Amino acid sequence: MTLVELLVAMTLGLLVTLAAASALVTSRRGAGTVDAASQLRDNARFATDLIQRLAVQAGFEDLAVVSAPYAGTEAQYAQINQIAIGDLLPNVYGSNNAVPATNDPLNVATRRPASDAGNGSDVLILQYQAARASIDPSSTSDASDRSMITCAGNAPPLASIGRNDRIFSVLSVGLSQGEPSLMCLTQSTTSGAISTTPLIMGVESFQVLYGVDNVTPNAALGPDNAAESVANRYLRADQLTVPGDQNATYANWRRVRSLRIGMVLRGPERSAQSATRQQLFPLGSQYASNLDPGSSYAVTDARLRQTVIFTVHLRNCQNQGYQSRAATLACDASLPS
């Protein structure tokens, strides 16, 4: 064999080796993308199932509480329920583009920084009661039937007593192991301690719109806002606030009939085939607004992403026992007077 023939053979061998190595790298990258896409679908299914279950629990009240008669005035309500309705937080409410306080998530939320990895994510708060195991009114047992769970998957051992005795689940986006994640804040029914649990890693956007029954943005309910029992528009959390009027704000929240959830989940670094610019709309392009920083954002990296949008219709009345005497719908809620 001559030197030229040897060099030609070596060159051909190198070309074959390079082609095989390139095919192997491409195959491995493709397999990684498929695995990442499968994981994103699994995470999306888990998040959807969990939020749907928590949402249909919202507003649930135990038999002894829900059987209390409707109260036509604030004074009657306070007498029956031993709490002023203006002091009772709604069962469904939240904050737009915010981060909940870890020590008091029901009452305190701060504006999310623009540089935060949550991309303008919202806070969703759901409250409900634990059902008593025994429906016998003469029973002295206060054990719950464990059918109601928190976002952490825990079932309170004791049933709720009184309208203000509720359990809660707070959903938001925070960092877990350096990745934006869907977080769960809830409270122990035994110690009272508030705990934070990461549910799903890679959730970089969590957006919530509230389907309301004839509510005017940032305005109190009036004679022209008669309830119809179904949602006729979707509003952001900040649009349900009536400045300077807590009762009116809470009355608007009690008209929430459904939730529209939008999430963007991302895979690990280099899970996509190449780095490309993506314009993302967590709730769809029709809800993109300059007033809502999280409704649209752009990213440029090599991560695979999946957008998930779904709607949950609330199963329970949200009026918390308050209904004006003029109301004709069982689940109506008007401004307390």
How far, in Å, CA of 271 to CA of 30, rounded?
A: 9
* 173 has pLDDT over 80: yes
Query: For 279-307, what is each residue's pLDDT tens digit?
Result: 999 999 999 998 898 899 999 998 999 99
Mean residue pLDDT of the chain comes to 90
**pLDDT for residue 28:** 64
Q: Which residues contact 218 (CB under 8 A, 6 or more apart)?
A: 239, 240, 241, 242, 243
Query: For 179-225, what is each residue's pLDDT tens digit?
Result: 999 999 999 877 889 999 999 999 999 999 999 999 999 999 988 88
Angle at alpha carbon of residue 233, lines to 228 and 236, rounded to 5°: 125
63 versus 52: the higher-pLDDT residue is: 52
Domain residue limits, the chain: 32-313
Percent of the chain beyond pLDDT 90?
59
* 249 has pLDDT over 80: yes
What are the two backbone dihedrals, phi and then psi, of residue 252, each rounded to the nearest 5 degrees? -65, -45
How far separated are the first and last CA of the chain, in Å rounded?
Answer: 104
Query: For 212-232, what is each residue's pLDDT tens digit?
Result: 999 999 999 988 888 888 899
Tell me the whole-structure pTM to 2 decimals: 0.89
